[in-house]
Amino acid sequence: MTEIIDYQNFIANAFVPGDPSIEVRNPANDRLLARVPEASGEHVEAAIAAARKAQRSWAARPAIERAGSLRKIASKVRVNAERLAHIITAEQGKVLGLAGVEVNFTADYLDYMAEWARRLEGEVLTSDRVGESIFLLRKPLGVVAGILPWNFPFFLIARKMAPALVTGNTIVIKPSEETPINCFEFARLVAETDLPAGVINVVSGTGATVGHQLTSHAGIDLISFTGSVGTGSRIMAAAAPNITKLNLELGGKAPAIVLADADLELAVKAVTASRVINTGQVCNCAERGSVERKVADQFIEQIAASMAATRYGDPLAEDDLDMGPLRTQAALDKVAQMVKSATGQGAEVVTGGAVADKGQGFHYQPTVLAGCGSDMAIMRQEIFGPVLPIQIVEDLDEAIALANDSEYGLTSSIYTRSLSAAMRASHELDFGETYINRENFEAMQGFHAGTRKSGIGGADGKHGLYEYTHTHVVYIQI
């Protein structure tokens, strides 16, 4: 992208001129990429009104027709995959290969959700009365507000809009102000299809303004939000007066447990990849290591070597990189501060441990910290960077107790060759997901959800789909 584009809000299938006051910059070199609007209150109202106006007739269409629209968008995404991946890398900073995976996974996700059109089911229940039938119908909620984070900005569009649309809802999407370009490019592709006006709308702006207006609005029937715990909590407060239904996908502090009988080579490879992918800015990647004492020295030595071998830099300027920069200066400062605080409390830097001198961009060295304790902030709060703090544990009991002692409960992982240890972990780890002998990613047919402060409800698969519906029980006496 060389030309600087002023993007416009997408309301009722029209690009509506607004005040393009938000600058989007490449985190690898601070180059200005585009300007997007801080949507006015009137534009947010217009987007919600357009979604409301479109919803009933959209829901009245056969589900298979709605699915057809998703498939058309999926094929547009595939045709434009290379260009979209380039845009995601430029504005978000992930390496091109991963951006390509994100785009293709998004297209597959749209197709997957489209397949549900012929599988949406209600129930027929047994009645206590003679001559009565009881039908449990599943109906769309109405208008969804989809509020997106910046770390997988393109995929998150589909994760919200595909289940919303196939079940008969319409949607107003607010991308993150950090990474809105890909969402407006998605809107451009939508505009090239025959999707009815108002079914998908995009308004951009900050959370405190546009995000707050959407989440406190009585015309929204479901807030589907992915982002941090703090914002999730503010959204709950904003939604409270209207008792708006919430679906919250929040942060994580995934423990990676390595037992003495683990395949260490596999564990080192998987945990490294998990800490490096998207520069550690993933809700379900390994955020803290718990290693059984017997293999601790060996594991720490090997993972330090593996992390130190990470190739990183500007993903559009260099080939074959494993990771790009962090998204913002604030993110870089936060990671540096967390490492400093941990070393101040006695953690030992085994590799990395400093801001990387790359000339420009928000780069932090891939880092391994040994000697960490559960009293350290780095073991309790999301780092969201390429830093692995490691704590030594005596046995599985201690590992499980430490893992569960967290305000987060999104994902967890364990490396072991013992079936009984794996089964105990499955039963006793109090998390929404556990990966055994592998790290993230989740499957689109699974259910991505967290316990504790990691969220309310979840996404993907049948259970994620039904989050976009409500039940309506009908009693028919004849």
**Residues at the site binding ligand NAD, with contacts judged by CB under 6 A:** 147-152, 174, 176-177, 206-208, 211-212, 215, 226-228, 231, 234-235, 249-252, 283, 382, 410, 448, 455
Q: Which residues contact 87 (CB under 8 A, 6 or more apart)?
A: 1, 181, 182, 185
Cβ proximity of 206 and 177 under 8 Å: yes
Closest approach, Cβ 447 to ligand NAD, in A, equals: 11
Do the strands 32-36 and 254-258 form a parallel or antiparallel pair, or are they unpaired? Answer: unpaired
Nearer Cβ to ligand NAD (207/361): 207
* Token representation of residue 426: 């499955």
Measured N-to-C along each axis, helices 96-115 and 63-79 cross at an angle, to the nearest 10 degrees, of: 160
* Token representation of residue 459: 């996404």
User: Which is catalytic among the residues 283, 292, 382, 439?
Assistant: 283
Quick check: is 283 catalytic?
yes
Tokens 């990771």 correspond to what residue? 323
Nearer Cβ to ligand NAD (215/416): 215
Q: What is d(CA 425, CA 429) in angstroms, rounded to the nearest whole number?
A: 5
Nearer Cβ to ligand NAD (207/289): 207
Quick check: is 382 catalytic?
no
Q: What is d(CA 262, CA 17) in angstroms, rounded to the nearest whole number?
A: 57
The partner residues of 135 in beta bridges, in order of sequence, read 124, 474
Closest approach, Cβ 211 to ligand NAD, in A, equals: 2
Q: What is d(CA 382, CA 304) in angstroms, rounded to the nearest whole number?
A: 20
User: Which is catalytic among the residues 249, 287, 382, 433?
Assistant: 249
257-to-65, 146, 372 alpha-carbon distances in Å: 46, 34, 14
Element (H, E) at 291: strand 286-292
Transcribe 221-242 into DSSP letters: SEEEEES-HHHHHHHHHHHGGG
Nearer Cβ to ligand NAD (287/314): 287
Name the residue among 439, 438, 455, 457 with its Cα closest to residue 447. Answer: 457
Closest approach, Cβ 144 to ligand NAD, in A, equals: 14
Closest approach, Cβ 367 to ligand NAD, in A, equals: 19
Closest approach, Cβ 275 to ligand NAD, in A, equals: 14
Amino acid at 212: H
Name the residue among 4, 185, 9, 6 with its Cα closest to residue 85. Answer: 185
When CB distances to ligand NAD are compared, the closest residue is 207
Nearer Cβ to ligand NAD (99/259): 99
Max intra-chain CA distance, the chain: 79
Nearer Cβ to ligand NAD (227/361): 227
Nearer Cβ to ligand NAD (227/366): 227
Active site amino acids:
249, 283
